[in-house]
Structure 1
Amino acid sequence: MVDVEEHLLNKYKITAHRNIQWLADTISLRTFNGTNNDEEIYCRYICDRSNLKSNGCCETGRYSVRFSCSGCNQLVGCCAHYEQCVACCLRPDQKKTLLEVLRLTSGHRLRQILASKDQFDLCVSKCRTSSDSVRLENRYKDEGLKYCYKREPSHAYPY
């Protein structure tokens, strides 16, 4: 007989999978500035602080990159910087990885993940609060790769 609590958790995971809005290659993430409706603002890009607009989004063009994985080891799913982790996690091809994270997560971490409304929220949560990059709760497996969006093995990163 299946444990009732486990059955409910599985039900919530299935519901979360259905309700999380996944990015598709065809979806445009543009919004319009409230003061000038002709000016398109593209968020979720990576850029230098000097190329940020007043609303906190990057100016598009040669100084910004969308879904950048520079500074990340895609094999292990960990990155040097939080922003790089979120950007790489947002790639449309990461859906399978994130579904695996959702399937394997339990306990208090599951509550955080189930609160995600879309892939962006899920990536923000996963990169910000991941314990998969630490060993023995107080040391990073790799000082250069502290922010992870994938579920990691318990051993040190392979290179």
Structure 2
Amino acid sequence: MARLEEKPCEVNSSLIEDDYETKHAIRRQPFQWKPNLPDVVSNNSTKIVPCRNSVQGKLIIVDERGYICNRTELDNRGCCDVTLQHISKHRCDKCSSNGCCEQFEFCVSCCLNPEKKTLLTRVLEEARQLGDRSLASVGDQFELCLAKCRTSSQSVQHENSYRNPKAKYCYGGNPPELLSLTS
């Protein structure tokens, strides 16, 4: 009869350290709610402060202030040019009340609305408690909104099918409504 050798259970200490560091790095990180960018740069300003935007949109983008515009309507900083009359901020018209939106850029724009701070504080705290690595490195509301809208597993029903194809980008804590396959 063969004898099984008993080996003590090995614990990978680097995984424990990584998990510990992730949880504690999240708690130490200062979080910024508002961008430090003016909507319009004065003509006598010599310093150009770059503006972050969503980059990936083929036709439209959202900048870190919450403005949505066509890719061709960026100013020299990379922000949407707010001198154009039709450029709008914090667009939630393509989003449902649970924070799920038709398009990624509208999700980020709506998420950047200052009225969403209470909801996002709750989302961020929950992520911190769970040690959510996708949100571990966010330092401000723009990064949080990009991450939440991009990586919402709550919108997926099964593998590559969405619970609601018209509301697959979510910043809130609740998943989109499940659409019936017969409708």
TM-score by length of 2: 0.63
TM-score, normalised to structure 1's length? Answer: 0.71
**Identity within the alignment, %:** 36
- Written as runs of structure 1 = structure 2, the 5 A alignment for 1:7-156 is 14-16=27-29, 19-23=30-34, 29-30=37-38, 37=46, 43=63, 44=65, 45-61=67-83, 62-73=85-96, 75-105=97-127, 106=130, 110-153=132-175, 156=178
1:19-45 Cα shifts (integer Å, max 9, x gaps):
11112xxx7522859xx7388987431
Whether contact under 8 Å (1:22, 1:119) holds in the other structure is: yes
Between structures 1 and 2, the one with greater helix share? 1
Distance 1:51 1:155, change over 3 A: closer
Counterpart amino acid of residue 38 in structure 2? R
Contact kept? 2:155, 2:170, Cα under 8 Å: yes
- In structure 1, list runs of 5 or more residues that go unmatched: none
Report the alpha carbon displacement of residue 70 of structure 1 after superposing the two structures with TM.
Answer: 2.1
Distance 2:105 2:143 in 1: 13
Q: What SS does the aligned partner of 2:68 have? A: strand
Task: Answer 1 or 2: which has greater strand percent.
Answer: 1
Within 2, Cα distance between the matches of 1:115 and 1:134?
24
CA contact (8 A) 1:130 1:147 kept: yes
| Matching residue's letter, 1:71 | K
- Change in CA separation of 1:54 and 1:97 when aligned onto 2, cut-off 3 Å: same
Deviations 1:51-72 (A, max 9, x none): 3335432111422111111211
Q: What is the CA–CA distance in structure 1 between the aligned matches of 2:47 and 2:22, rounded to whole Å? A: 45
1:53–1:136: structure 2 CA closer, same or farther, 3 Å change rule?
A: same
Aligned residues: 145
Larger-Rg structure: 2
